[in-house]
Amino acid sequence: MEFIEPDRSNYIVSAHKPNDEGVRDIGFVKGTFLDGRPYRLECWCMDELIMASVFFDERYLTAWKRLDFALLLELEGVLQFKDGPYLQAGRMKDGKGRGIWAVTVMLKDDDGLHAEVLTPVQRYR
């Protein structure tokens, strides 16, 4: 079975100055989990927070809980948690109206580093 690649074409990147919500986009990573499921990780900042949102096909994962996603992201070598994990997960529709998960992780705040991205982040230009 082939998984969908999340379509983020409906998202407007704000790499040079914050958008109306105060978000400035840093960069992204495209990868594939071991089961063949493509993912897209997007790093962004807002105020003193640095965050990462990971998007991937929801298929076969509809009953997952918050901590299941922390384990998935660590076991797949996407993120390493230093403490926490500080994350939230929710299902949404991608740019083509297909069901995906959006898992948002706090990487850093005033208290320090909570998690780090383990693969190189391609900066937006």
pLDDT at 62: 84
Fold of 23-118: Phosphorylase Kinase; domain 1 (3.30.200)
Q: Look at residue 53 in the predicted model and tell me its pLDDT.
A: 98
- Residue 115 banded pLDDT, cuts 50, 70, 90: very high
Does the global pTM surpass 0.85?
yes
Could you give the CA distance from residue 10 to residue 110 in angstroms, rounded to a whole number? 31
Q: Show me where the domains of the chain are located.
A: 23-118
- Mean pLDDT over 23-48 rounds to 97
Query: What HEC string does 71-87 produce?
Result: HHHHHCCCEEECCCCCE
Which two structure tokens, joined as six digits, stand for 34? 């071991």
